[in-house]
Amino acid sequence: MIVVSIANQKGGEGKTTTSLNLAWGLARRGKKTLLIDIDPQANSTGIFLNPEGLDKSMHNIFQSKAKVREVMVQTHVENLNIAPSRLTLAEAETVAAIVDAPYILRDALADLEKEIDFCVIDCPPSLSIFTINALVASNYVIIPLQAEKFSVDGILGLQQTITSIKKRINPGLEIMGALVTQLKPQTLLTKTIIPVLTKYFRIFDTSISDGVAVGESHLARKSVFEYNKSSRQAQEYEGFIEEFLNELKK
């Protein structure tokens, strides 16, 4: 099982969109895929389920140390399961005082190792215990961000957290790269910021352009592929997934 965290402590950078469409795209390619929603806002979960109607969610993982298999739900998409979130997950941040707090998610995933090909983790917009758990459990990190100054300003904290976790807890953790989202290619700001980003991370060759298809797909509770497969953003996410899979072969 390959575990990938989609992480950025800044909100509005495209984490949920990227998590959702990466997981959906992998499932469409016949990969047994698990999407873990570890954000109390439960935006990924809301695409498939009513978060408030759930009996079990990621809250049970952190409060009761349940196994992920106990909370995951088969979606209407073939090969795609989701481990859902709900607002009550926010209450579980108290686990920070427990000695083994960073390892809860990793331990909860252990028995799925041979059943799932890919696990995609939608992280919250913070460097909370949930994001730390995701990074400890992951093989790779993908960082969605916009080509804007405030996006760049927050990178250092995330980079330091990843470096610390790699050094102290998870030496196998690798930053696969940053995915530029909501790109406005002709602006001076974009042309100025992207060269700066390359100083911090590898940047995926594929970027996701600004457009309405992504937002409309969320309202329709669909992936961008289901909503409008001919849209520019759908084609770009397809290109990103192919690039992601090619990186794994290297």
Domain with 33, as residue range(s), is: 2-248
The counts of H helices and E strands in the chain are 12, 7
pTM of this prediction?
0.92
Tens of pLDDT, residues 115-163:
999 999 999 988 889 999 999 999 999 999 886 666 666 677 788 889 9
Tens of pLDDT, residues 168-206:
999 999 999 999 888 776 665 566 777 777 777 888 999
Tokens representing 22? 């990466």
| CATH code where residue 99 lies | 3.40.50.300
Residues in the chain: 250
Please give the C-alpha separations between residue 201 and each of 90, 142, 215, in angstroms, as whole numbers: 30, 10, 27
User: DSSP 3-state assignment of 8?
Assistant: coil
Interstrand relation of 80-83 and 73-74 (parallel, antiparallel or unpaired): antiparallel
pLDDT-derived band at 95 (thresholds 50, 70, 90) equals: low
d(CA 123, CA 111): 21
d(CA 98, CA 83): 23
Domain count, the chain: 1
DSSP 209: B
| 114 Cβ contact partners less than 8 Å away, ≥ 6 residues apart | 1
Give the pLDDT confidence score for residue 6 in this predicted structure: 97
With beta carbons less than 8 A apart as the criterion, state whether 58 and 71 touch: yes
